[in-house]
């Protein structure tokens, strides 16, 4: 007698095996085993001729989904079926959320077991939790499955109906999504606010006062009992004081005159106010708050946070990481309180256990907050974790333990001082008892240091005292535009608006960046001109689909389907084929959408048009000679495109570049220009005999107006030949590229070996010895935080190249030449050997893996990416159909070929 247990991932299977008797066999489904078709090749022959086949949903037959087993899952399905033959019982142990419930249901449909079936759920992978779950199995919840199936169908209908429209009207390769498009609109709306923002300026005084040996700051707040204007008094749309606001706006002259008037005059304490404040700890983490805090504290993106959290969960370190709940079990509360008692003492323990409840009606997924796993919590130091795994576990541990600690008691002190008719204010903070702040402070990695930073100690003063003025100065200020969204603030906004599910935010933000709707620069999500064009089209013709309220109501309906309060079929019928349904709207609107208008972005105060072209955004303006077009540099954001920059780019196109000077050796003119990839210098003019003049990009951060002739001459010497490599005799050069300065060991057909040049080294002065030193170091992996390998394996027996394991975007991988091969999810880096690396690389090479191949995320994670796969699949389907239907003439063959190429390039 044996029991087959099926989970999603090999890592999870490996962990669970340790907690079950030998009669239990645990296998992994590797995520979903079937799904809607992702390409034309996956559509069964029997339905390929049906007009709904490309959708993968038969909208004319009660929205029946067309489920197929992907090619890469057929082997897994066969293995599961073979394993089931020897089993007397089947336990489906996928995650306790809608996605997990759906995976179990699909397994049931495919395997068609003739043995007893159980559904086992748990939210942590510990011996106690698994053994307990075995005794509390249940049936599959069909209502939850129906809600997930409705969500999947809904996302497919939106993605496959709107994306082709965007290809026709704006640009090939774009995508739309039920939540993705709303998120993009939020970014665009914030960027519009930044464009509309008008800067205001104001002045005030700042003083440093002293009593005894304690110095403290004081800020001007009133003059003649009238409040002095500060940033909050300005209208962002005019840059002027808000109408009706009774404040005194000081300019520089007035501020300096006031400074001169109060100089050397006595200061007097006019009022002191002390206010006790009690702060309570934040609740334990949910999916969204974990993503927000990991972004703020650890600078981790949402996708990276979820990848690490998934790994920690599957290895038994934390509870399930996809949850909307802040609830802690009695077991967890006891464990957290034990930690507080042992590490901080009873005075730091909250008098009563803190019990948190989730406010949102639709909260579901796993039914406990994210916390350390087990009935006792391992401290971060006891886990044996390191790197980002340690840091994220440390964050979760601290937040959970702090949630059961005593309140922080503080005293806020406001001190008013008067000099002549000028009133100043000083603010102090005294921490009377740190409470939970001893363990956890939001936004700080070091609670002890944060406590010191938070305290602002004012000297002991009373009304009538006269502190000394050590210094006073006039300070000018300028109001700042609304801050762009970070991943953390976007996640917070989506959750507060009820848009989407926190478990999908990571993949949605990733899709927005991957599809070119936003750039992630210095932790800020900056929308592109393409995002403006797509958002404008959707706002104009499909306003409901980008309305946060409409999308939130959709989410509520899906929740109601899961609880049986709503019916799925009437909802889909109304949404898609009703009188105001999506299919009806697209059919009606398509003929009304002018593609030229859709590709044009209208920006206030810009006379020229911004258009979306095949190679990116460009300016178009009318002149006496006809229309003038000029590329917009890729690093120029919509909010930063002002009339001056527009004039410069167009003038450069019509009148030619402004001459910087003459080259001292050749006498040729040197120009500074701005191109699609930013500013660069050019030697000589473009002519019939000199179609490609010598050019060189400016180093990153160099302003074009600061370039001198000498600097330009030096840049035009690039690439610099530094010498030859002592081992190969091949040349070694220094140059500037897309990603900055670098040295390269150029061995011709053998290949090129690059290393980045970092300060204090300079591309214009670096010498051969230093270049050889850089080339001898391990090669950095683009996008990784460190070039240091996780493990050194040894030399490749054929090439002699050192093989190492690196930490990549989707987990550990090994690299040889152009081939990157990801380690299996259940493969330990510590136990990974050179022979395993050679086998893995050989398998990847045999499968056609090369430089263009990318590591794939787990099937489950990919499945959660709302429309990212939908758009790609729709393109492939369209391309395949075009190729099949057009094989009769040479001209039509050419069309099909172009379609295929377009699909590949996207």
Give burial (CB, 10 Å; 0-12/13-18/19+) of 847.
Answer: exposed
CA distance linking residue 870 with residue 180, whole number of Å: 12
Token pair for 647 = 């004039």
Residues 6+ away with beta carbon under 8 Å from 642: 605, 606
State the DSSP string of 55-103. TTEETTTTTEE--B--GGGHHHHHHHHHHHHT-SEEEE---SSHHHHHH
Q: Which is nearest to 484 in space by CA: 520, 524, 513?
A: 524
Contact 172, 534 (CB under 8 A): no
Pull the structure tokens for residue 219: 């800020």
Q: Which of 160, 320, 680, 813 is catalytic?
A: 320
Distance CA 546, CA 538 (A): 7
Q: How many helices (H) and strands (E) does the chain have?
A: 26, 31
Residue listed under structure tokens 């590329």: 631
The token pair at 795 is 């030399």
Place of tokens 């002027």: 240
In the annotation, is 160 catalytic?
no
| Helix 568-577, helix 582-590: angle, nearest 10 | 10
Name the phi and psi angles at 159, rounded to 5.
-65, -45
What gap in Å lies between CA 103 and CA 144, rounded to an integer? 11
Cβ contact 475:204 at 8 Å: yes
How far are the Cα atoms of 124, 329, 336, 630 from residue 358, in angstroms, in the given order?
20, 13, 19, 53
Q: How far is CA 819 from CA 208, 636, 753, 848, in A?
A: 62, 34, 15, 9
Rounded Cα–Cα distance for residues 859 and 804 (Å): 26
| Segment (H or E) for 392 | helix 387-402
Cβ-based neighbours of 856, under 8 Å, separated by 6 or more: 810, 822, 862
C-alpha radius of gyration, the chain, whole number = 32
Half-sphere exposure of 652 (CA within 13 A, CB side): 21
Which amino acids are annotated catalytic?
A: 320
């Amino acid at each position: 007698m044996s029991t087959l247990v099926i989970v999603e991932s090999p890592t999870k299977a490996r962990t669970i095996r340790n907690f079950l008797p030998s009669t239990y066999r645990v296998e992994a489904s590797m995520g979903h085993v079937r799904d809607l078709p992702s390409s034309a090749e996956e559509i069964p022959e029997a339905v390929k001729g049906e007009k709904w086949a490309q959708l993968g949903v038969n909208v004319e037959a009660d929205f029946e989904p067309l489920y197929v087993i992907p090619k890469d899952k057929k082997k897994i399905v066969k293995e599961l079926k073979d394993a089931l033959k020897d089993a007397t019982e089947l336990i489906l142990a996928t995650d306790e959320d809608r996605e997990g419930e759906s995976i179990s249901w699909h397994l049931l449909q495919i395997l068609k077991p003739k043995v007893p079936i159980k559904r086992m759920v748990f939210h942590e992978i510990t011996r106690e939790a698994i053994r307990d779950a075995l005794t509390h199995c249940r049936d599959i919840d069909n209502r939850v499955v129906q809600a997930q199936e409705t969500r999947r169908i809904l996302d497919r209908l939106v993605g496959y109906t709107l994306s082709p429209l965007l290809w026709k009207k704006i640009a090939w390769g774009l995508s739309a999504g039920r939540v993705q498009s709303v998120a993009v609109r939020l970014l665009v709306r914030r960027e519009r606010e930044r464009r509309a923002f008008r800067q205001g300026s104001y002045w005030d005084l700042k003083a440093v006062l002293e009593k005894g040996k304690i110095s403290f700051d004081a800020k001007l707040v009133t003059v003649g009992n009238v409040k002095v204007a500060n940033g909050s008094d300005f209208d962002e749309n005019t840059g002027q004081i808000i109408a009706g606001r009774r404040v005194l706006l000081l300019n520089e002259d007035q501020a300096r005159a006031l400074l001169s008037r109060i100089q050397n005059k006595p200061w007097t304490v006019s009022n002191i106010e002390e206010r006790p404040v009690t702060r309570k700890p934040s609740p334990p983490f949910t999916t969204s708050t974990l993503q927000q805090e990991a972004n703020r504290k650890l600078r981790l993106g949402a996708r990276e946070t979820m990848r690490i959290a998934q790994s920690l969960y599957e290895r038994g370190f934390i509870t399930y990481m996809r949850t909307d709940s802040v609830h802690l079990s009695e077991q967890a509360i006891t464990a957290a309180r034990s930690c507080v008692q042992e590490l901080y003492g009873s005075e730091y323990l909250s008098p009563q256990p803190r019990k948190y409840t989730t406010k949102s009606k639709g909260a579901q997924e796993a039914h406990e907050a994210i916390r350390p796993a087990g009935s006792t919590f391992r401290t971060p130091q006891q886990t044996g974790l390191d790197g980002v795994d340690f840091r994220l576990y440390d964050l979760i541990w601290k937040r959970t333990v702090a949630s059961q600690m005593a309140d922080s008691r503080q005293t806020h002190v406001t001190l008013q001082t008067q000099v002549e008719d000028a009133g100043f204010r000083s603010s102090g903070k005294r921490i009377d008892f740190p409470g939970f702040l001893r363990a956890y402070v939001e936004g700080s990695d070091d609670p002890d240091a944060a406590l010191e930073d938070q305290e602002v100690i004012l000297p002991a003063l009373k009304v009538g005292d006269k502190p000394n003025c050590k210094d006073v100065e006039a300070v000018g200020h300028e109001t700042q535009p609304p801050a762009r969204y970070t991943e953390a603030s976007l996640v917070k906004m989506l959750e507060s608006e009820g848009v989407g599910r926190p478990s999908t935010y990571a993949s949605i933000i990733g899709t927005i960046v991957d599809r070119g709707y936003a750039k992630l620069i210095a932790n800020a999500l900056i929308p592109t001109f393409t995002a403006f064009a797509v958002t404008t089209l959707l706002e104009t013709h499909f306003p409901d689909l980008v309305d946060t309220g409409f999308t939130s109501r959709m989410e509520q309906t899906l929740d109601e389907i899961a609880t049986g309060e709503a019916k799925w079929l009437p909802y889909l019928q109304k949404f898609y084929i009703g009188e105001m349904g999506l299919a009806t709207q697209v059919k009606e609107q398509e003929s009304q959408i002018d593609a030229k208008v859709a590709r044009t972005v209208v920006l206030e105060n810009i006379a020229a048009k911004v258009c979306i072209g095949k190679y990116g955004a460009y300016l178009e303006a009318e002149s006496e000679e006809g229309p003038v077009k000029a590329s917009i540099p890729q690093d120029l954001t919509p909010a930063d495109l002002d009339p001056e920059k527009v004039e410069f780019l167009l003038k450069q196109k019509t009148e030619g570049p402004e001459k910087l000077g003459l080259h001292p050796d050749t006498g040729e003119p040197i120009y500074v220009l701005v191109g699609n990839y930013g500013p660069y210098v050019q030697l000589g003019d473009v002519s019939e005999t000199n179609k490609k003049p010598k050019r060189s990009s400016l180093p990153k951060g160099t302003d074009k107006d600061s370039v001198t002739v000498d600097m330009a001459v030096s840049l035009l010497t690039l690439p610099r030949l530094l010498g030859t490599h002592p081992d190969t005799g091949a040349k070694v050069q220094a140059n500037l590229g897309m990603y900055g300065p670098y040295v390269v060991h150029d061995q011709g057909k053998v290949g090129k070996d690059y290393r980045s040049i970092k300060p204090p080294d300079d591309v214009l002065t670096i010498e051969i010895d230093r270049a050889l030193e850089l080339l001898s170091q391990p090669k950095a992996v683009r996008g990784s935080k460190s070039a240091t390998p996780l493990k050194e394996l040894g030399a490749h027996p054929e090439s002699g190249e050192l093989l190492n394991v690196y930490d990549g975007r989707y987990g550990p991988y090994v690299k040889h030449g152009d081939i990157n091969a990801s380690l299996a999810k259940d493969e330990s880096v510590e136990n990974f050997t050179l022979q395993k690396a050679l086998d893995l690389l050989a398998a990847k090479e045999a499968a056609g893996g090369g430089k263009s191949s990318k590591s794939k995320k787990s099937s489950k994670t990919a499945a959660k990416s709302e429309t990212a796969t939908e758009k790609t699949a729709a393109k492939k389907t369209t391309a395949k159909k075009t190729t099949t239907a057009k094989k009769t003439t040479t001209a039509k063959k050419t069309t099909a070929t172009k379609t295929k190429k377009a699909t590949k390039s996207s």
